[in-house]
Amino acid sequence: MRNAFLNELYELAREDPRIVFVTGDLGFGVVEGFMEELPDQFVNAGVAEQNMTGLAAGMALSGRIVFTYSIANFPTLRCLEHIRNDVCYHDADVKVVSVGGGFAYGSMGATHHATEDLGVMRLLPNMVVVAPGDPVEARAATRAVVARPGPCYLRLGKAGEPVVHEEPIDFELGRALGVREGSDATVISTGGMLPLAVRAAAALAVDGVDVRVLSMHTLKPLDDEAVLRAVDETRAVVTLEEHSIVGGLGSAVSELLAERNGARARFKRLGVPPRFSPRVGSQEFLLAENGLDVETIGATVKSLLEPAP
């Protein structure tokens, strides 16, 4: 996703001199081309995320479309109030980009686990929150956020994620993408959980359970309609996120459903408990530790479909 984003941004920046890429001294091996070809549209803010963010807002208020870029929690939590006041309050055209959302930097330790970013960004007024599900969505999202003026948070994985969308997609901010049809249950996925959602749905199909998969690439504004269709048309809804179950996709869907009395489907959030990971490990290891695997998703869907005791 990182490379898809950078390649797309590079292309867009060549066409549009307003686009500026501001990095917090990260991107070794992947940003040098941009830096060399478009020096007037590149800034290395150094290891100084508060200034990176305020500076980006200042540039945006002077007519630029500015991307700030760093990894894990550095471009978000480290400089949160600068995002709130400088970017969001001024409705500045700043796109905050984090590479390595979730457990992408799993072995590096809990400091590098970005598992609250979506929730925190979702709280901020004027902020659009986007977590693409695969490299194809990452490219489309990059183009979409440039076309939409105003603050945005773009949460990316690292590199090497599988492509889920083999066909061209009709990407629109705020509108979930249907990845698989299904009538028994729905798995709503955000960010890099999409391939896992698709694999879990395929495994459930073998057992005769027909699962719909939605890629909720935009967490805010949430596609309420797609969620409500899922609870009306299927009997179980599971949210899937590489993020705390507090504040992110599961919370957003819960909030919607709680105020819609009489929702038909049963509902469960799958994600990370609100805690620091007691152990480090690879992304796969930590996902499995938190029940983000095909088996747990399958068991959860099946149990929701069982008649209530």
Partner 1 sequence: MTLSGSDERTGAVGVDELARRIRVHCVEMTARANASHVGGALSAADILAVLYGKILRFDATKPDWPDRDRFILSKGHACTALYAALAETGYFPLEKLETFYADGSPLAGHATHKDMPGVEVSTGSLGHGLPLSTGMALAGRRDGRAYRVFCLISDGECNEGSTWEPALFAPHHSLDNLVVIVDYNKIQSLGRVEDVIDLAPLADKWRAFGWATEELDGHDTRALESALERVPLEAGKPTCIVAHTVKGKGVSFMEDELLWHYRAPLGDLLDRALAEIGPPR
Among 7, 51, 254, 296, binds partner 1 (CB under 8 A): 51
Residue 7 binds partner 1, judged by CB under 8 A: no
CB contact set of 236 (below 8 Å; sequence gap of 6+)? 184, 185, 186, 265, 266, 267, 268, 301, 304, 305
Determine if residue 31 is left, alpha or beta; phi over 0 gives left, psi from -120 to 50 gives alpha, anything else beta: alpha
Contact 155, 219 (CB under 8 A): no
Binding of partner 1 by 83 (CB under 8 A): no
**How many Å apart are CA 203 and CA 211, to the nearest integer?**
10
CA distance 191 to 158: 11
Stretch binding partner 1 (CB under 8 A), from 37-45, 101-109, 143-151, 228-236 = 37-45
If DSSP codes are grouped into helix, strand and coil, which group holds residue 155? strand
- Binding partner 1 (rule: CB under 8 A), the pick from 8, 10, 27, 54 is 54
**From start to end of 198-261, where are the E strands?**
211-215, 218-220, 236-244
Minimum CB distance to partner 1, residue 62 (Å):
4
CA atoms of 270 and 15, how far apart (whole Å): 41
Q: Choose, by CB under 8 A, the member of 13, 43, 177, 204 that binds partner 1.
A: 43
Closest approach of partner 1 to the CB of residue 186, in Å = 41
Site for partner 1 in 233-292 (CB under 8 A): none
Q: Which of 1, 2, 31, 64 binds partner 1 (CB under 8 A)?
A: 64
Q: Name the residue among 74, 269, 77, 93 with its Cα closest to residue 190.
A: 269
The residue from 3, 12, 26, 85 that contacts partner 1 (CB under 8 A) is 85
CB closer to partner 1 out of 61 and 203: 61
- Crossing angle (nearest 10°) for helices 294-305 and 194-206: 60
Residue number, 89 or 285, with CB nearest to partner 1: 89
**Of the candidates 24, 18, 90, 27, the residue with the CA atom closest to the CA atom of residue 7:** 27
Out of 9, 23, 71, 86, the residue judged to bind partner 1 by CB under 8 A: 86
Select 39 or 309, whichever has its Cβ closest to partner 1. 39
Are 113 and 273 in contact by the 8 Å Cβ rule? The answer is: no
Number of residues that bind partner 1 (CB under 8 A): 26
Stretch that binds partner 1, among 30-38, 79-87, 124-132, 162-170 (CB under 8 A): 79-87
Binding region for partner 1 (CB under 8 A) out of 39-47, 107-115, 186-194, 240-248:
39-47
Binding of partner 1 at residue 82 (CB under 8 A)?
A: yes
Q: Which of 244, 247, 151, 157 is nearest to 193 (CA)?
A: 157
Judged by the rule CB under 8 A, the positions of this chain that interact with partner 1 are 40, 43, 45-46, 48, 50-51, 53-64, 66, 81-82, 85-86, 89-90
